Structure 1
Amino acid sequence: MREFGYQRAYDVSGAVALLDGDREARFLGGGTNLVDLMKTGVERPALLVDVRELPLNSIESAEDGGLRIGATVTNSDLAAHPEVRRRYPALAQAVLAGASGQLRNMATVGGNLLQRTRCGYFADVTAPCNKRSPGSGCPAIEGEHHNHAVLGASDHCVATHPSDMGVALAAFDATVSYETADGPGEVPLADFYLPVGETPHLETALPPGALITGVTLPPTPVAAHSRYRKVRERASYAFAIGSIAAALDVRDGVVHDVRLAFGAVASRPWRARAAEGVLRGAPADAETFAAAAELELAAARPLPHNGYKVTLMRNLVVAVLSELAEEATR
């Protein structure tokens, strides 16, 4: 591990000033991803700016009825918050599905959003990887890729984004707030993660030196009737091989409103807008749910060993929406 400096920040402007656009400096929250990458030599910052003491650890109702979540709120506190559980249950479920209890106690909302889209080749500094060393190649395409992307990938990278929390936030149209030396800004989560394209090493739309200060969820009544389902290769502490955040409002047997987002299928949380468009105003039945899933997954381009994800995600859509539809009739 490279020798590095360490400074603790106590206010947002001070934290941004400490980083001061230094490309070899990093903000440190819980460190559950960054420190691991430092240990393997993937990340080699010259300075860590600790932001855990910033006044960004609250969850508050917004004036419009939405919810504001501070960037240093821990994953455990987010999942346990009564308003999150009541108004956005899929978000609480997604957070609880991620990592172990010990990691959730340390990991922060801001850090979760910024964890690297990665695979085994990215973590192995002896292997080529376009994310770690642009232009070196993507060995996963011809190598081990059974848990890699089937949507939105490119010839330059087929890794998947690992965040469970991000999938639920994508379904509910979250907005990410940040601070720079030039002042505050915000970006919809839909635009926060960049398409992988030819530059997989560029992952987010954050300006250089920006500090995430929080996430805002808009008032979304349908979110109260939501669920997160994660499929993984072992029962605990594993990345998803496929996941879904779904919310459904059914009236008189017809879909009035719906939200769908997929995880573990792309380099970013995948909002299933094509499927949503088919579902609104359609019968709330398994046949309709399957047709919507097929439309969304028509763009899938699986590799030789991950085609199972297309079937898996279709089945997840049908199963979870069917469960929500049945609950709406009780």
Structure 2
Amino acid sequence: MNFALILFVLVVVTGIAWVADKLVFEKQRRLAAQSALAEFDARQAELQRYGQSDLDHSRSRLAEEKLRQPWWLEYSASFFPVILAVFVLRSFVVEPFKIPSGSMIPTLLIGDFILVNKYDYGIRLPVINKKVLDIGEPQRGDVMVFRYPKDESLDYIKRVIGVPGDVVSYQDKRLTINGKPAEYAPLPDYLDEERLAYSKHFREKLPAGPDHGILNDPDRPAYVSGADPDFPFHENCTYNQQGLTCKVPPGHYFVMGDNRDNSLDSRYWGFVPDRNIVGKAFLIWMNLGNFGRIGSFK
């Protein structure tokens, strides 16, 4: 389900109701109220001639009744400012996501609620995701949310490893970018509580990029098994028993999960085109099972 499209439709529908109320319906209600009050005042004047008491309370109740919006207009028009604010915030500033899988462990865990910056990589039109203002580009080491190239109804999150023009080599579970090897520092083994298994834990420092934690499963082979042979620019990649080497085409990015042996990423389905980019993840704002997770991450 395309939530952005649903939100856009709600903005349009409630916005039409709000504008129609301001330009048409509100004026009609005011005219009706003025007419009813004039009639009421004439009737009261007639009653006073015979010594009847004034009914100011009844007059105010009549005015309130005539000015009241019908229920369908009250709900639709009153919700418009709230829906518009959510739409603008979600489309151009930040968007919330929940991590559904363990492909980014140890950086992000299943159940983390994250915020994604929507403007660092340029301003894009909502729904169609077309860039209209170029502000910046993804950098090596960024944690990026994007539309999965094989099914754009799905949002994926991975780490940017290669930018356009880079030659990315992943051999024997070690990265080399443009001929420069990444640096690795061993850390204590990591216990994956979902799988109840230990993984080798390293601090990886990308060439011209930040450092971050990664996991490797010593029981998994280095070669890539089950890669799609038909993804766009597949000819830019060479596979062997030790891994693969790819040259990132213009306007595309090579991404990988930090949980290297448990991540479906560019090694298997190819490059992420710029048009599929959603934004840059930068903050864990909630984890219902572990409040200590809240905060920024690399």
Tell me, yes or no, whether TM beats 0.5: no
More strand by share: 2
Measured against the shorter chain, the TM-score band is under 0.3
TM-score (norm 2): 0.25
Give the structure with higher Rg (CA): 2
Q: Which has the higher contact order (CA 8 A, sep 6+)?
A: 2
TM-score (norm 1): 0.23
